[in-house]
Structure 1
Amino acid sequence: MVQTCDVLLTGGVVVTMDDDRRIIENGAVAVQGNRIAAVGPVRDMAGWKAQRVVLCEGHVVIPGLIDTHNHLFQVAGRGLGDGMALWEWLEKFMLPLAGGITPGEALAAVRVAALESLSSGTTTIIDNHYAPNDVQTSLQVAGVLHDMGLRGAIARGVFGPFTNVARDNHLNPMLFRNTVAQELDNMRACLNEWRSDRVAIWPSPVNVIYNDQDLVHGLVEMAREFGVPWQTHCSEAQSDPEIYQEAYGLRPFVWMQQQGLLGRDATFAHAIWLDDQEVEITGSAACGIAHNPMSNEYLASGAMRLRDLRSAGASIGMGADGAAGHLMDMFQIMRQMVYVQRLHTLNPESTRAAEAFELATRGGAEMAGIDAGCLVPGKLADIAVVSLQGAHMTPCVDPVASLVYCASGRDVSLTMVDGRIAYEQGQAQFVDHEKIMSDARQYCKDLIQRLNINVPGRFV
Structure 2
Amino acid sequence: MSILIKNGYVIYGDNLEVIKADVYIENNEISKIGKDLNVGADYVIDAKGKVVSPGFINAHTHSPMVILRGLADDLALMEWLQNHIWPIERKLKPDHIYWGALLGVLEMIKSGTTTFVDMYFHMEEVAKAVEKAGMRAYLSYGMADLGNEEKRNTEIKETLKLLEFIENLDSPRVEFLFGPHAPYTCSPELLGWVREKADETGKKITIHISETRDEVRQIKEKYGKTPVEFLDELGFLKDDVVAAHGVWLSDKEVKILAEKGVTIVHNPASNMKLASGVMPLKKLLDAGVNVALGTDGAASNNNLDMVEEMKLTSLLHKVHDLDPTVADAGTIFKIASQNGAKALNLNAGVIKEGALADIVIFDFNKPHLRPITNVISHIVYSANGSDIETTIIDGKIVMLDREVLTVDEEKVLDKVQEIIDELR
Equivalent residues in 2 for 1:22-41, closer than 5 Å:
22-24=17-19, 26-40=20-34
Supply the AA of the counterpart residue of 2:372.
C
The counterpart of 1:75, out of the listed 62, 66, 71, is: 66
Q: Distance in 2 between matches of 1:296 and 1:398?
A: 29
TM-score (ref. length: structure 1): 0.88
Q: Which moved more, 1:412-421 or 1:252-261?
A: 252-261
Tell me the residue number matched to 1:51: 42
Q: Please give the alpha-carbon distance, in whole angstroms, between the structure 2 residues aligned to 1:249 and 1:20.
A: 43
Letter in 2 for 1:338: S
**Contact persistence 1:67–1:318 (CA under 8 A):** yes
Alignment match, 1:170: none
Q: Which residue of 2 aligns with 1:396?
A: 372
Letter in 2 for 1:155: S
Q: Which runs of 5+ in 2 are unaligned?
A: none
Please state how far the C-alpha of 1:412 moved relative to its aligned partner. Answer: 0.8
Taking the aligned partners of 1:329 and 1:177, their CA distance within structure 2 comes to 39
2:328 is equivalent to residue 345 of structure 1: no
Range with bigger deviation, 191-200 or 262-271: 191-200
Q: Larger deviation: 381-390 or 237-246?
A: 237-246
CA–CA separation in structure 1 for the residues paired with 2:275 and 2:355: 38
Match of 1:452 in 2: none
The answer as to 2:69 corresponding to 1:97 is no
Name the residue aligned to 2:11: 15
Is residue 2:401 matched to residue 1:425? yes
Superposition RMSD in Å: 1.5
Instruction: Tell me the distance in 2 between the aligned counterparts of 1:19 and 1:101.
Output: 42
1:445 Cα deviation from its structure 2 partner? 2.2
Alignment correspondent of 2:422: 446
> How big is the shift at 1:220?
2.3
Query: Does the 8 A contact of 1:109 with 1:444 survive in 2?
Result: no
> What is the one-letter code of the residue matched to 2:317?
Q
232-241 or 78-87: which moved more?
A: 78-87
Match of 2:251 among 276, 292, 304: 276
Preserved contact between residue 73 and residue 109 of structure 1 (Cα < 8 Å):
yes
- Contact between 1:209 and 1:235, CA under 8 Å: does it hold in 2? no
Q: Which stretches of structure 1, 4 residues or longer, exceed 4 Å deviation after superposition?
A: none
Contact 1:158 1:205 in 2 (8 A): yes
Q: 1:47-446 counterparts in 2 under 5 A?
A: 47-129=38-120, 133=121, 137-160=122-145, 162-163=146-147, 178-194=150-166, 195-322=170-297, 323-446=299-422
The letter of the residue matching 2:64 is F
Checking the alignment, whether the CA contact within 8 Å between 1:284 and 1:312 is kept in structure 2 is no
Q: 1:379: how far off? A: 0.5
8 Å CA contact retained: 2:141, 2:158: no
Which residue does 1:168 correspond to in 2? none
Q: Is the 8 A contact 2:392 2:398 kept in 1?
A: yes
Deviation at 1:179, TM superposition (A): 2.5
The CA deviation string for residues 108-159 of structure 1, in whole angstroms up to 9 with x for no partner, is 2111111000111110011111xxx2xxx32121121121111121121112
Is contact 1:234–1:268 with CA below 8 Å preserved after alignment?
Answer: yes
Contact 2:123 2:140 in 1 (8 A): no
The one-character-per-residue Cα deviations of 1:421-451 (angstroms, maximum 9, x if unpaired) are: 011122221222221111111112222x2xx
SS in 2 for 1:84: coil
Between the aligned partners of 2:119 and 2:150, the Cα distance in structure 1 is 19
Unaligned runs of 5+ in 1: 164-175, 450-460
Q: Measure how far apart 1:190 and its partner are.
A: 1.7
| Paired letter, 2:124 | L
Counterpart code for 2:276 = S
Partner of 1:179, secondary structure, is helix
Aligned mate of 2:2, from 6, 10, 21: 6
Percent of pairs with identical residues: 30
Distance 2:52 2:86 in 1: 40
TM-score (norm 2): 0.96
1:66 offset after TM fit, Å? 0.5
- Answer yes or no: is the 8 Å Cα contact 1:105–1:443 preserved in 2: yes
Provide the C-alpha distance between the structure 2 equivalents of 1:39 and 1:310, rounded to a whole number of angstroms.
Answer: 31
Check conservation: 2:266, 2:291, Cα contact below 8 A. yes
Q: CA deviation at 1:177?
A: 9.5
